Amino acid sequence: MDDLVKLAGALLPERDGEIVLMGIVIVPEGHSISEGALPAQTSRQAMAYMAAHFPDWPIVIRPRVRVAHKVWAEVLAELAKTPVDLLLVPWDGPDQPVLSVAVDQVLSQAPCDLVLVRGCNVTTCRRILLPLRGGPHADLALHVAGALARISNGEITLLHVSGPHGVMPELAGLRQREPFITRIIRLVGEPAPGIVREAREHQAIVMGATIRDLPDGGLALGPVAGQVLAQTDQIVLLVRAHHLAALTLPGEPVPAASAPAPDPSDIVDRWFASNTFHSDEFADLEQLLRWKQERGHSISLALPALNEAATIGNVITTLKQALMDDVPLLDEIVLVDSNSTDDTRQIAASLGIPVYIHQQVLSDKVGSLAGKGEALWKSLYVTRGDIVAWVDTDIVNIHPRFVYGLLGPLLCWDTIQYVKGFYRRPTRIDGVLVAGGGGRVTELVARPLLNLFFPELSGLVQPLSGEYAGRRQALEQLPFFSGYGVETGLLIDMLERFGLRAIAQVDLQERIHLNQPLVNLSRMAFAIIQVFVARLEARNKVKLLEDIHRSMKLIRYEPGRFFLNVEQIADVERPPMITVPAYRRARKLP
């Protein structure tokens, strides 16, 4: 496949433009598209590895992976969203399908110029045969043959086929346009036998592809190309220039741009398969650094903390050593403390990390509220990166993957704005870690409510995880809830503002931390439900909650008695940071 990437690069005029590497994972009919999530991760790694082979190219190479039941339909849908000038496709020959459909269907429906390549190792083709007799595909065939000659340092034999279907331009002019043409041969008579005969002295054939009508109303590859493909073993590049009046096969479905709206469940399955990553995909830190430098990004890591003296030192030391000292992937690490009463701030400061107390940040401008969400919101003010990542500081088994796993999708795919982490969360019982014990609020509250009211987000494995990252230009446009509801609010608002494709999730493997007592989980669940209600009110323009419902009766147990204790549990919604004048001044925004 490297050869096809080189050919694609040579086809770009003056090496200006971009190449989209599209890998497609096929899921059998009758199976959920979501089953393609793990194969998609493998395919993405292969695409990224291929793109990494050309670090010095001025051309942008964008790997993309899609999961589908029907390959050609998926390609058409992708081309409708991302128009391209030319589609380059490997092919096994005339008796084999192209992208899981008949070759005539691809030739007739492609919405752009098309090149089908039979064979491999195109860079070894030193002698290239170019049969031309004019017609709509001649110019594209000449361009493709020239590109092939450039990457293989080859020579082109122009076989001038005389016939009624086109008038050849001045041959001397063709030679001036394409200096790799070293020989011109005139062919009079039936073209196919002459092309087959001349092909014996060549390693590759570049020729136009025509389509003929069949008696039953269908379409088929033209007879000349069909005979040449059947009677030669050489590499064949079949080209077809795009026509304004596109052909459609009888009985075929309407192209994707006009198709009925897809089933919402199918949308989530497709998102799950294509936007679920694994941290191992991004373990090559040097590659991440190259992507970062190519895009000119800066990256900040903000660590929210409240009384995490037991773990904060190891968290900072591990991440700083791997992601700043060894490979400068991070431009800064800051601690955003919520007024800890232990040595959390002192430990961070001793390790050279800037320390901010969130209650003191912007306090003279916007005041201060309690809660983790408040700390995250204010961390946008104290950090400077184009990408901001957050990682909880109570993680016992901290590893650099908790950060680079979040950053990878943002550095590789420009369409992604926000990445959530997920993992296995074992619970410690009597000193023993038991698998599957964590995430109680996630499974009992967050995911059921997402499925009920925001089903587009039902594919999130752990919507409440504390490890996530996003682009500043997106995050600064979103409100932040001040407490437990911050993760839920960010997800819903990201969906509403930027759409599902802007969100991704990454498998961070396993996370070990101190599990919360049940009473804290009750508070968390109550706050999260309020966020759901607030967003449903905003969407449907109805009032569902009164202030009195923001208090919760918690059951208190003490020696010899138990009783009800009322607590006010209500997240305050902070406005988008970009609306805060002090932030705009600090960022030098108009």
What does the DSSP assignment read for 357-400?
EGGGTTHHHH----SHHHHHHHHHHH---SEEEE--S--TT--T
Q: Please, which residues have CB within 8 angstroms of residue 89's CB and are 6 or more apart in sequence?
A: 98, 99, 106, 114, 115, 116, 117
Q: What is the mean pLDDT of residues 190-198?
A: 91
Q: Please say if the pLDDT value at position 203 is more than 80.
A: yes
Taking only the tens place, the pLDDT of each residue in 146-155 is 999 999 999 9
Least confident of 10-14, 169-173, 541-545: 169-173
Nearest alpha carbon to residue 159 among 144, 171, 146, 177: 171
Q: Which tokens belong to 152? A: 């293989």
Q: How many CB atoms lie within 10 A of CB 100?
A: 17
Three-state helix/strand/coil letters over 263-302: CHHHHHHHHHHHCEEEHHHHCCHHHHHHHHHHHCCCEEEE
> Length of the chain in residues, anyone?
590
Least confident of 64-68, 81-85, 122-126: 81-85
Task: Please tell me the class of the 2-244 domain.
Answer: alpha beta
The torsion region of residue 105 among left (phi > 0), alpha (psi -120 to 50) and beta comes to alpha
Q: Please say if the pLDDT value at position 169 is more than 60.
A: no
Question: Which of the 8 DSSP states describes residue 178?
Answer: -
Taking only the tens place, the pLDDT of each residue in 86-113 is 999 999 887 788 998 988 889 889 999 9
Taking only the tens place, the pLDDT of each residue in 478-526 is 999 999 999 999 999 999 999 999 999 999 999 986 666 666 788 889 8
Q: What angle do CA 57, 281, 505 make, to 5 degrees?
A: 115
* Residue 322 pLDDT: 98
Q: Which tokens belong to 183? A: 């020989």
Q: Please say if the pLDDT value at position 254 is more than 80.
A: no
Question: Which of the 8 DSSP states describes residue 217?
Answer: S
Of the chain, the end-to-end C-alpha distance in Å amounts to 47
Q: What is the CATH number of domain 275-510+521-586?
A: 3.90.550.10
To the nearest whole percent, how much of the chain has pLDDT over 70? Answer: 88
Calpha distance 78→538 (Å, rounded): 33
What's the pLDDT band for 545 if we cut at 50, 70, 90? low
DSSP string of 453-501, one letter each residue: H-GGGTT-S-TT-S-EEEEHHHHTTS-EESSTTHHHHHHHHHHHHH-GG
What's the pLDDT band for 82 if we cut at 50, 70, 90? confident
Matching residue, tokens 């005539």 = 104
Contact 162, 186 (CB under 8 A): yes
User: Considering the chain, what is the average pLDDT of its residues?
Assistant: 86
Please name every residue paired with 561 in a beta bridge, in sequence order, or none if there are none.
558
Calpha distance 284→332 (Å, rounded): 20
Nearest alpha carbon to residue 446 among 502, 519, 391, 527: 527
Q: What is the mean pLDDT of residues 563-576?
A: 84
Q: What is the mean pLDDT of residues 160-164?
A: 66
* Residue 321 pLDDT: 98
Q: Which tokens belong to 524? A: 């968390």
Q: Please, which residues have CB within 8 angstroms of residue 377's CB and are 6 or more apart in sequence?
A: 480, 482, 486, 574, 577
Residues forming CATH 3.40.50.12370 domain(s) in the chain: 2-244
Calpha distance 123→203 (Å, rounded): 11
Q: What is the mean pLDDT of residues 216-222?
A: 73
Phi, psi of 189 (to 5 degrees): 115, -160
* Residue 336 pLDDT: 98
Q: Please say if the pLDDT value at position 547 is more than 90.
A: no
Q: Which tokens belong to 97? A: 């399908």
Q: How many CB atoms lie within 10 A of CB 156?
A: 26
* Residue 220 pLDDT: 75
Q: Who wins on pLDDT, 260 or 61? A: 61
DSSP H helical ranges for 200-284? 223-231, 264-274
Contacts from 558-565 at CB under 8 Å and sequence distance 24+?
Answer: none
Taking only the tens place, the pLDDT of each residue in 14-51 is 667 888 889 899 999 999 999 999 999 988 888 877 77
Q: Please say if the pLDDT value at position 167 is more than 70.
A: no
Q: Who wins on pLDDT, 290 or 577? A: 577
